[in-house]
Amino acid sequence: MKAACSAPGRARALDYVAAVTVKAGGRALPLGGVALPNRRLVLRWLRRQALRLADGHGRYLPAAAPWLGTRDVRPVAFHSSDAPEALRAWADDHGSQDHAMSALASGHPALLTVVDPFVGLRVTLGAWPVDLCGWVAAAAPANHPYPTRTETEEV
C-alpha cells in the first residue's frame, strides 16, 4: 500500500506506531511493535496485545520465537494478577478506548502502564502519531516533489 504526502497548505498525513515495552531492574526491553496507517488499527493492535498478555497469566509460557510472524508481542510472566487484570480492564473499557482515540486524533500519545508490584515489573503499551510527510517536507527542497512512501509490515 502506498500513501502520498499532501501538498503544502493541506492537512498532513499522519501515520501511527505502537509498541509494548517491559521495564524490570532498571532495564527497558521492547516486546514488539508495529507501524500502521490509522489510529483505529493501532488501538485494535494494542487492545489485542493487552488481552494476549493478560490471558497468558498463569499459563506455561513457551520460549519466545526468534521472529514473530504474527506481529504479536513476546509473552510476559506476571507474578501477581494485578497487571493482567489492569490490562484486561483497559482493553474491555470503551471509555478508555475512546480517550486513547481522542489523544491520538489530537496528536498526543496514548499510553498505558501496568505494574506487577510483586517484582516491580512495568509493562507499557503506547501509540504515537508520526508525521512522516511533515518530516519529508522539512527535509526536502522547496522545488522537490513529495515522494511516495511505502509502508512496511513490521517495525
Cβ–Cβ < 8 Å for 139, 131:
no
Instruction: Copy the grid coordinates of residue 115.
Output: 505494574
Q: To 10 degrees, the CA torsion angle through 33, 39, 44, 47?
A: 70
Residue 154 has pLDDT above 50, yes or no: no
60 CB-contact burial (10 Å; exposed 0-12 / middle 13-18 / buried 19+):
exposed
pLDDT tens-digit map of 35-72: 999 999 999 999 999 998 998 876 665 555 555 455 77
Q: Determine the average pLDDT of the residues in 104-126.
A: 92
Whole-prediction pTM: 0.72
